[in-house]
Amino acid sequence: MYLCCLDEGYPRQIARFSGSTLSAIQRQLDRLESGGVVYSQLLGRTRLYRFNPRYPFLKELKALLEKALTFYPEAERQALVMTRQRPRRAGKPL
């Protein structure tokens, strides 16, 4: 769900967001990558995961996740969809 809403993420970030352990998230991402659902790329020392655009069931999977999101408690849904995605220039205060 994290990747569906935010397009990409690294294991520690997803673990922090979902309140899971890092190892549990890494294990799940590893399985999803083995199944071709996600792919990863090294960005410096961080392994970044995204949905694999070549996964044949991606459209259907995303539609299912989008529908599931509408059933989320409002606070959790807001946390997923209201995370800032647009860039912020370096040095600009928050």
Partner 1 sequence: MKPIAEMTEAELAAHVQQHLLKRGIRVVLSGGTCVTIYSMNAYVSGGLDLVAEVYARPQEISAALAEIGFERHGRTYRHPESRLLVDIMSPPLAVGGEPVKEVREIRLATGDLRVISPTDCVKDRLANYYYFNDRQCLEQACLVVASTEVDMAEVSRWSTGEGQEAKFAQVRRGLLDAEAARRQKAPPTRKA
Residues contacting residue 42 through CB under 8 Å, at least 6 positions apart: 48
Q: How far is the CB of 55 from partner 1 (least distance, A)?
A: 8
Q: Going edge to edge, which strands form the sheet with 46-51?
A: 8-9, 46-51, 38-43
53 binds partner 1 per the rule CB under 8 A: yes
CA dist 72 and 67 (Å) reads 9
Amino acid at residue number 64? L
Q: Which is nearer to partner 1, 42 or 75 (CB)?
A: 42
Q: Which is nearer to partner 1, 41 or 83 (CB)?
A: 41
Q: Taking contact as CB under 8 A, which single stretch among the options 2-10, 15-23, 49-57, 70-78 is the one that binds partner 1? A: 49-57
58 binds partner 1 per the rule CB under 8 A: yes
